[in-house]
């Protein structure tokens, strides 16, 4: 089985979807999805993008170029050794106004990501003190 096929199947099973359900969501036939998963057929770029969006993963992850599913996971990995930062990050990643941050971390090292999260936390803490 090819990498993209393995990843599609794993993601589908992680979401507890059967092939028919995922095929319907992608607007493709069940047979086509089965062929993707077994490596008999390669998805078009459009389908790869639909899959990435559906499962909230990067196309690089689907293609096997990285084991990091998305930028949010990359940031989580970078701050995982600091309980205070991971707690703050878990709150932060739900904020729509900071979604751009995820995209901007693509080429940053874990050390740089951690520093940025610390800066944002310091700003948030300062704003909280001003509001009190």
pLDDT in tens for each of the 132 residues of the chain? 588 999 999 999 989 999 999 999 999 999 999 999 999 999 999 999 999 989 888 888 899 888 877 677 777 777 888 888 888 777 777 777 666 666 666 677 778 878 887 888 888 888 777 776
* Same-domain status, 92 and 121: yes
What's the gap between Cα 6 and its chain centre?
A: 17
Stated pTM of the model: 0.61
* Same-domain status, 75 and 127: yes
What's the structural domain count of the chain? 2
Q: The tokens of 91 are what?
A: 């709150």
* Same-domain status, 80 and 115: yes
Phi-psi region of 129 (alpha: psi -120 to 50; beta: other; left: phi over 0): alpha
Note down the domain range covering 52.
3-63
Give the whole-angstrom CA distance, residue 128 versus residue 43. 48
């Amino acid at each position: 089985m090819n990498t993209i096929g393995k990843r599609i199947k794993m993601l589908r099973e992680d979401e507890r979807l059967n092939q028919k359900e995922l095929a319907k969501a992608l607007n493709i036939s069940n047979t086509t999805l089965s062929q993707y998963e077994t490596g008999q057929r390669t998805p078009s770029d459009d389908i790869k993008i639909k899959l990435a969006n559906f499962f909230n993963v990067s196309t690089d992850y689907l293609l096997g170029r990285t084991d990091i599913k998305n930028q949010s996971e990359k940031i989580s990995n970078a701050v995982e050794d600091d309980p205070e930062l991971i707690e703050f990050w878990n709150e932060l990643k739900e904020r729509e106004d900071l979604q751009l941050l995820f995209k901007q971390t693509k080429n940053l090292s874990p050390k740089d990501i951690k520093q940025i999260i610390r800066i944002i936390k310091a700003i948030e803490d300062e704003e909280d003190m001003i509001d009190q």
